[in-house]
Amino acid sequence: MKQIVMLEERREFLTQALKLVGGCVCVSALAACETDVLKSSNIAVRYDVSQTSELSTIGGAVKQAFDGQNGGFPVLIIRMDDDDFLVLSSICTHQACEVNLPGDGDPNIWCECHDSVFDRSTGDVVNGPATAPLQRFEASFDKSTETLTITF
């Protein structure tokens, strides 16, 4: 019971934080709103893609947590091309539930809490009630070392 209360408090905190961060970014940097690439901490982490078989093929996706980044929630890492990865927050922009990992061939990312649907290739909203896209993190891939650098 205590754990459920803590999760609800965490969800409410994250919902308010997302609204605050989104509002500040939209006011101060319109370009960031247009691309939905939001940097919140400027902390870069490196991820060895070769250790994850799901990411060996284009279209592959995994959920991965990075030691307290993204509010403690994992991110979705999706291989878009040989040397291109999309990194999205798993925090639903409606009320901060954790979205599902997209299934093989599924063009969408689903949130089971209230059935919001996001585009797997952009994080944009396909169906509400969510109205904002999933937060997108900057990511660069070094093909020679198979290392993905994600900036939170």
Kindly list the residues in this chain that would bind ligand FES in the complex (CB under 6 A). 92, 94-95, 97, 111, 113-114, 116, 129-130
Is residue 75 within 8 Å of residue 89, measured between CB atoms?
A: yes
Q: Residue 46 CB, nearest distance to ligand FES (Å)?
A: 30
Least CB distance to ligand FES at residue 25 (A): 20
Nearer to ligand FES, 55 or 109 (CB): 109
Buried/exposed 35-63: b ≥16 CB within 10 Å, e otherwise: ebbbebeeeeeebebeebebbeeebbbbe
Least distance in angstroms from the C-beta of 101 to ligand FES: 14
Q: Using CA atoms, how far apart are residues 50 and 139, in angstroms rounded to an integer?
A: 16
Shortest distance (Å) from residue 67 CB to ligand FES? 24
| Cα separations in angstroms, 26 against 71, 87, 90, 116, 134 | 20, 20, 21, 22, 15
Determine the distance from the C-alpha atom of residue 60 to the mean position of all C-alpha atoms in its chain, rounded to a whole number: 15
If the CB atoms of residues 81 and 115 are measured against ligand FES, the closer one turns out to be: 115
Coil, strand or helix at 113: coil
C-beta closer to ligand FES: residue 32 or 117: 117
Cβ closest to ligand FES, residue 69 vs residue 89: 89
Q: CB of 12: closest distance to ligand FES in angstroms?
A: 12
Closer CB to ligand FES, 79 or 94, in the complex: 94
First to last CA, the chain: 32
